[in-house]
Amino acid sequence: MPELPEVETVARSLRGPLIGRKIVAMWQDWAATIHSPSPAEFEARIAGQTVRRISRRGKYILLELDQDTLMIHLKMSGRLYVAEAAAKHDADRWVHVRFDLDNGEQLRFSDLRKFGRVYLTDDVASLLTHLGPEPLSEDFTLAGFRDGMRGRKRAIKALLLEQEFLAGVGNIYADEALFRAGIHPATSVQRLNDHDTERLRQTIRDALLAGIKHEGASINWYRKPDGQKGESQDYFFVYGRTGLPCRNCGTAINKIRVAQRGTHFCPECQPIRG
């Protein structure tokens, strides 16, 4: 599933072709993709609205319109791209929602697995109240990070995956951040000291910023709106590198399961505690 760096890359890439463009019509052939409102109301409300701003919250892409916000979650295999109405692309076979623009182009939402969702709302905040702080914002304070960990007994990797705890971090960047911090992913939260939490807060930010710099990781479905792959996977320390030598010490990268997710770490650089 695309995480914060991938979603941020998509949002940034869509600003050029979409900001200032008016949506003149909508088409869909898979009603389940339309989370809310109903497909008929969605189509009627969005027609005639202009895209004013594009941003991101957690793993959601937010297109702010005149009266509403078009909110999109890519889930596992979602792709967003802008194309001329007559243009054909390989991903078109999985397009289930399409927005026609006033310049003859289209914003297309391709989603092979059909888990992605689109929302049209005039109250974004009410739909996103479950999300924790943005890890790259000023809201992600060291004090708040430590407060959120207090009393927790689960593995630190499992906690980092909770969107209610921290928005936008997923399996990939949790592994990368924990490696950078020298913390074994199965370490119980209660075993982390103040130095650990301070270092981890910083490495979470470092791992995400590196992901944005390299425009996301194209390991499975993710592609940038121009169809090109991101390059983050070429710079990972541990994720997807099972059996390969650690870039730091040369020890083979191991893979285990934590919170039912494949988890990568260096047993030398990230020794287990207790």
Residue 28 lies in a domain: yes
In the prediction, which pLDDT does 197 show?
A: 98
Domain boundary among 127, 150, 172: 127
* 3-state secondary structure at position 6: helix
pLDDT tens-place string over residues 199-210: 999 999 999 999
Q: What is the pLDDT of residues 111-133, one digit of tens each?
A: 999 999 999 999 999 999 999 99
Residue 62 lies in a domain: yes
Domain of residue 24: give its range. 4-127
According to the model, what pLDDT value does residue 273 have? 79
Are 18 and 113 part of one and the same domain?
A: yes
Catalytic residues: 2-3, 59, 261
Distance CA 2, CA 171 (A): 10
Share of the chain above pLDDT 90, in %: 98
Domain count along the chain: 2
Residue 20 has pLDDT above 90, yes or no: yes
Residue 271, in any domain of the structure: no
Predicted pLDDT of residue 1: 83
CA distance 89 to 68: 29
Does any domain span residue 114?
Answer: yes
Q: What pLDDT score was predicted for residue 274?
A: 64
Instruction: For residue range 168-227, list pLDDT tens digits in order.
Output: 999 999 999 999 999 999 999 999 999 999 999 999 999 999 999 999 999 988 999 999
Length of the chain in residues, anyone?
A: 274
Residues 121 and 174 in one domain: no
Beta bridge partners, 60, equal 57, 73
3-state secondary structure 191-222: HCCHHHHHHHHHHHHHHHHHHHHCCCCCCCCC
